[in-house]
């Protein structure tokens, strides 16, 4: 149960910060929030806070199917609570959407690529036998999100996380593009897991 509580809390605060952060420092605030929450809960649940990351861990073999399902439910519930709280505090809802004039294809590709990067980082720094008990995993994961938000945030909206998109877009009532934020991140996560298995065969001996 403690794992699921931590996943709820981490997703809550990540989505809360996304809904409240604004201006040029927003990407840094979001990446920093994820880094802090990863260090907070990594020793308890693995600090996924993201259904795509949980799916990546499932394909990698670090998580079983039943636990993955409950993780995802906990993350989505935390995201919904975070989006509701952010909307209450800010007085307006946040919507995750492609940038103006950006095609669905470009947004989908951006979500795929940066989730691939995120999942690859998580798998290599937080689940690999080559980096046991390291102290840099939270920094690496948080900065991956910072880099993604700065580079492709204007293209796709920079979710890289189905729970983030579901939380904010359910609360804002904007579900027209939600498939982009489900398909892109999940496909990117699965691809990252398959590449991890190919490039780290010693992990499975």
Query: Sign of dihedral through CA atoms 81, 86, 89, 91?
Result: negative
The residue range of the domain holding 112 is 2-204
Mean pLDDT by 10 residues, the chain (205 residues): 97 98 96 97 96 97 96 98 98 97 98 98 93 90 97 97 98 97 98 96 88
Specify the residue for token string 């065969």.
Answer: 201
pLDDT value at residue 133: 84
**Count of structural domains within the chain:** 1
User: CATH code at 147?
Assistant: 1.20.1080.10
- Give this prediction's pTM: 0.95
pLDDT value at residue 131: 84
pLDDT value at residue 204: 87
Could you give the CA distance from residue 50 to residue 37 in angstroms, rounded to a whole number?
A: 12
Specify the residue for token string 């809550």.
Answer: 12
Q: Which residues of 118-146 are buried (b: 16+ CB within 10 A; e: fewer)?
A: bbbbbbbbbbbeeeeeeeebbbbbbbbbb
Could you give the CA distance from residue 49 to residue 114 in angstroms, rounded to a whole number?
A: 16
pLDDT value at residue 132: 83
Q: Residue 38: CB partners within 8 Å, gap ≥ 6?
A: 10, 47, 49, 137, 138, 141, 142
């Amino acid at each position: 149960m403690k794992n699921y509580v931590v996943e709820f809390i981490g997703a809550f605060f990540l989505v809360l910060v996304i809904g409240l952060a604004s201006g040029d420092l927003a990407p840094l605030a979001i990446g920093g929030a994820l880094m802090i929450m990863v260090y907070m809960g990594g020793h308890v649940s693995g600090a996924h806070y993201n259904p795509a990351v949980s799916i990546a861990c499932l394909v990698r073999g670090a998580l079983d199917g039943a636990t993955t399902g409950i993780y995802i439910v906990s993350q989505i519930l935390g995201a919904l609570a975070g989006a509701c709280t952010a909307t209450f505090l800010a007085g307006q809802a946040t919507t995750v959407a492609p940038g103006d004039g950006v095609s669905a294809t470009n947004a989908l590709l951006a979500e795929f690529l940066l989730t691939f990067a995120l999942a690859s980082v998580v798998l290599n720094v937080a689940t690999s036998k080559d980096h046991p008990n390291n102290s840099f995993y939270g920094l690496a994961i948080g900065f991956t999100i910072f880099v993604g938000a700065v580079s492709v945030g204007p293209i796709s909206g920079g979710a890289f996380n189905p729970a983030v998109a579901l939380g904010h877009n359910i609360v804002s009532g904007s579900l027209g593009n939600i498939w982009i934020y489900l398909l892109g991140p999940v496909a990117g996560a699965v691809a990252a897991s398959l590449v991890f298995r190919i490039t780290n065969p010693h992990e499975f001996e």
